[in-house]
Each structure stands twice: as structure tokens, then as C-alpha cells.
Structure 1
Amino acid sequence: MFSMLIIEDDDIIRRGIVKIVSKMDLPITTIEEASNGLEALEKIRQMVPDLIITDIMMPFLDGLKLLKQIREWELPSRTIIISGFDQFSYAQEAIAYGVGAYLLKPVKKDKLYQVLHKFIQGLTKESTHHKTASDGSQFGHDVGFITRYLEEHYAEDIDLNKAASLVFMNSTYFSSLFKKMTGVSFIHYLQKIRVEESKKLLSNHQLKIYEVAVKVGFSDEKYFFRVFKNTTGLTPNEFRLLKTK
């Protein structure tokens, strides 16, 4: 499963792209949104999305400066520029920052699908490679330590910054390294553990849904519902009912 961040200051266009992508037959399970470059930077730091679609002209921080920052962080995200500017200078600068595709507005569904499908194929191959490759380096041990730590401390208040500090790394670099070695982002790895543990607790009908959420590390019940459904395709209530039949 792959994650995506869509960055566009025009609400109608952004929501339209979300709707288009969500209907595509692609393994994209998480779609987040940002309406400007600064908001996007914060979300990128938190989730390290597999796929990024961004406009160029945005308030606070434009798309090209955003791409430059992503490149400096050495993140593995695949990026797509969408723009109303059919100018070679924009495309040339975007390519220099590692953008994977430059699409003109209005975005054509078939073209967007082709680009996303190609990117996902590449990400899938990389993920398979990283999972099968053996790594005895210190970095490999550090990531292994964190995965074991998460399995034991998933219910605690732990985030990317805390995990990175445990192995004395910069959070952005650690996030990129974790994804390269496990095939998924830190937050997805943690969420998967929490969802699996919540499934066990949901069999206990004496526990309310919000109590299950808290016991596995979610402080927000609505967020727990969203993550659970994105992961399993069912709401916690639906899952509980299914298991009682």
C-alpha cells in the first residue's frame, strides 16, 4: 500500500484530484492534502509520502522551492508537478530537482493514471529489493532495533522524532532510511502494528471502541477509525460484528 500527498491551493482542483485518484485501481491507501507549501513541508516530514502531486504557484512556499527541500532531505518520494504554466524554464528547474513528471492543467485522468502506475511499479520493485536484501550494517541494526521497540511500545506516545532520537539520528534522514529498509514509512509501520493489536482487543465486547483506540496508542477516536478502515477496509464496529458471526 502506498501513500500520497496532494498539494494545491485551489480547493476545488485539489479535491477533484483526490476524487480522481481515489477512484483509480491503484494500491494507494492514504491520501493527504495540503493547501500551501509550508503546510506540505510539515506533512512531508510527518508521513514521508510515497507519491507527491504539487502545484507550482502556491502561497508561502512555491512548488519548486518545495521540490528543492525534498531533494535536500534525500527523500524517496516520487513527485509530480501540475501546472498551468507551459514554460520550459519551469519544467527544466523541476527536472533539476528530481521531479518525475510535469503535467499541465487541466490534468487528464488517463495521463495521470499512466504516471502513477509507472511510479508505483518502481516503488514496488524497490520495496521488494529492500525487503530481500540482507544488511548487516549499523544502520540495519538501528532500524531493526526500532521495529522491535515499536512492537513492544506501540501503545505509548511515540512518533518519528522520538524514534529517531533513540538511535541518535536526524528525524528526516531516519525516516528515509526506515522506509528504504522496511518498504513502508515509519507511520505506516506503527499504524499496522496498532491496528493488528486493536483487532485482538475488539473481540472483547466489554471494551468500548474509544477504549480500544487508547489501549493501542491512538488518542483520537476519529483518527483511529480512519486508520483502521484504510488498513482493513472495515470500520472497527464492522470488524467486531463480522467476528461475532
Structure 2
Amino acid sequence: MYKLLIADDEAFERKTMRFILKKSFNNLDIVEDAKTGAEAIMLSEEYKPHIIIMDIKMPEKNGLEAQKSILKFLPNVKTIILTAYDNFSFAQSAIKLGVVDYILKPVRPDELKESLNKTIHLLKNEDTSINAFTDLSYDRDSIHEAIKFINKNFNRSITLELVSEHVHLTPHYFSRYFKNNTGVNFIEYLSKLRIKEAKRLLVSTSKSISRISLDIGYVDSAYFSKVFMKYEGVSPHKYRLSQKKPPLNLEIP
């Protein structure tokens, strides 16, 4: 999965490229868009993209100025420049700054896809041992952050999409990687966490089943009981009764 940043001050162009890329590539994680050259630098520091699609004409800093700054902390980034000008001197400047390709605006879908395929091929052919280690380290950190987020917010209306957005991964990629690293899928992990807390509340408090259901993130108490039965083999009510300590049987001498 390659992280990609789109930097363009025209909202329509950004939406068009995002639509084309999402439809054509399943190995791209498209991060937050940049609307200016300064934003492109800032978001590149935050997300560390593998690929940047950079408009040449943007406010604050132009595309080449932003590329020059980004190369200082992302020397291996693959940048595709968008330009409305087709001239040789521009191409020379772009090549000197490590730009892998440039596309004339307005962007044509076939040219964009061809350029991305070429760029992804370049990434795959680079030193895979170094790049794989970097990606794995990033993904491991993302999973740890996701688990921390779930553990803290399991009692809210939490979804796969919400968690994947929190760690800046696509839902599909996050779902697959989460299961590969934890051995369970997102729903199963969340359910087990909630049931564990429900068991504690059933034993240590006198709260009603409905109240406990709400406290652990289930709005529907009937659904909560169904999930509880699935994992524990008994209803919440029967579990509570089974955990009550019997009265002490003291013999009077």
C-alpha cells in the first residue's frame, strides 16, 4: 500500500484525480489533500507519502519550490508534476528536482493512470528491504495506535471507518492488516472488549442490563444479550446470578 498526496489549489481537479485513482488503484492510500505549496510541505511531513501529485501553480509556494523543500526530509519521494505549460526548460527544472513525470492540465484519466503505473513500478524496483522495513514499522505503529484508540473508546459508537481514519489508513487496508496482526477482525476484537467490561459491571455493580448495554456501547440491549450469549454461552442475567457469592454457612457451636 502506497501513500499518495494530491497537492492542487483547484478543488475540482483534486476531486477528479481522487475519483480516478480510487476507481483504478487498490494499492493507494490517498491522504489529506493540500491546497497550497506550504500545505503540501506540511502534510508531507505529517503523512510521509510515497507519491505526490503536485500542481506547479499554487499559492504561497509553487510546486517546484514545495518539491525542493520536501526532498530535504523525503529524499525518495516520487513526485508527478501537473502543469498547464509544455516547455523544455520547465521539464529540465523538474528533472533536476527528482520529479518522475509531469502531466499537462486538464488531467486526462489515461495519462494519470499511465503515470501512476510507471511511478508504482519505480517504487517496487527500489531497495525493497529498506522500504519494506519502513512500511512495516509505520503499519505496526498504526495498529498499536488503533488498539489504544479502540480500548479508550469501545463504549462509544465506534466503527471500522472511524478507527481507520484515526490512523490515516483506508478501511479496507486497515481491516486486513488489523486481522493479520491481532488474529481477530475488528468487530470480534471490539465485541470481546465490550463483553469483558460487561462481565465486570454485572458482577461489581447493580446496574440494569439495559444500563450496562449502553455503558459498553450497545444501544440495543437485546442485541447486547445476543452478543453476550454468543461469547459466554449464557444470558447476562444468568451470568450475574452465577457469579453471586453464596452466603456463608457458619456452624454455631
The TM-score bracket by the shorter chain reads 0.5 to 0.7
Cα 1:108/1:189, change in 2 over 3 Å: farther
TM-score, normalised on structure 1?
A: 0.62
1:26-41 to 2 correspondences below 5 Å: 26-41=26-41
Q: Give the equivalent residue in structure 1 for 2:143.
A: 192
C-alpha separation in 1, matches of 2:167 and 2:65: 35
Q: Which runs of 5+ in 1 are unaligned?
A: 131-179, 214-219
Distance 2:141 2:101 in 1: 31
Larger Rg: 2
| CA gap 1:26/1:111 in 2 versus in 1, 3 angstroms | farther
Q: Contact 1:4–1:50 (CA<8 Å) still a contact in 2?
A: yes
1:208 is aligned to 155
Q: Secondary structure at the match of 1:107?
A: coil
Rounded to whole Å, the distance in 2 between the matches of 1:45 and 1:195 is 21
Is contact 1:101-1:115 (8 Å) kept? yes
Secondary structure of the equivalent of 2:12? Answer: helix
Letter in 2 for 1:240: I
1:118 is aligned to 118
Aligned to 2:134: 183
SS at match of 2:126: helix
- Please say if residues 47 and 185 of structure 1, whose CA atoms lie closer than 8 Å, have aligned partners that are also in contact: no
1:65-110 CA-to-partner distances (Å, cap 9, x unmatched) read: 1111123335211000011111222111111111000110122212
Q: Verify the 8 A CA contact 1:127 1:183 in the aligned structure 2.
A: no
Does structure 1 conserve the Cα–Cα contact (< 8 Å) formed by 2:9 and 2:59?
Answer: yes
RMSD: 3.7
1:52-77 deviations in whole A, cap 9, x for unaligned?
00111110000011111123335211
Cα distance between partner residues in 2 of 1:24 and 1:83: 22
8 Å CA contact retained: 2:37, 2:60: yes
Whichever residue aligns with residue 96 of structure 1, its letter is: K
Please give the secondary structure, in 2, of the residue aligned with 1:240: helix
- 1:42-61 correspondence to structure 2 within 5 Å: 42-61=42-61
Letter paired with 2:47:
M
CA deviation after TM superposition for structure 1 residue 9, in Å: 0.4
Post-superposition offset of 1:228 = 6.9
1 or 2 for the larger relative contact order (CA 8 Å, sep ≥6)? 1
Instruction: Spell out, residue by residue over 1:14-56, the C-alpha distance to the aligned partner (whole angstroms, 9 max, x if none).
Output: 1111111111134002332000011111111111100000111
Contact conserved, 1:81 with 1:102, CA < 8 A, in 2? yes
Q: Deviations over 1:125-180 (max 9, x none)?
A: 436332xxxxxxxxxxxxxxxxxxxxxxxxxxxxxxxxxxxxxxxxxxxxxxxxx4
Instruction: Report the counterpart of residue 202 of structure 2 in structure 1.
Output: none
Q: Is the 8 A contact 2:31 2:168 kept in 1?
A: no
3-state SS of 2:135 partner: coil
**3-state SS of paired residue (1:75):** coil
Alignment map for 1:82-231 (pairs within 5 Å): 82-126=82-126, 128-130=128-130, 180=131, 182-184=133-135, 187-195=138-146, 207-209=154-156, 223-224=165-166, 227=169, 229=171, 230-231=173-174
Deviation at 1:121, TM superposition (A): 2.4
Percent sequence identity is 27
SS in 1 for 2:121: helix
Residue 86 to residue 37, structure 1, CA distance change in 2 (3 Å): same
CA contact (8 A) 1:9 1:35 kept: yes
How far residue 120 of structure 1 moved from its aligned partner, in angstroms, is: 1.5
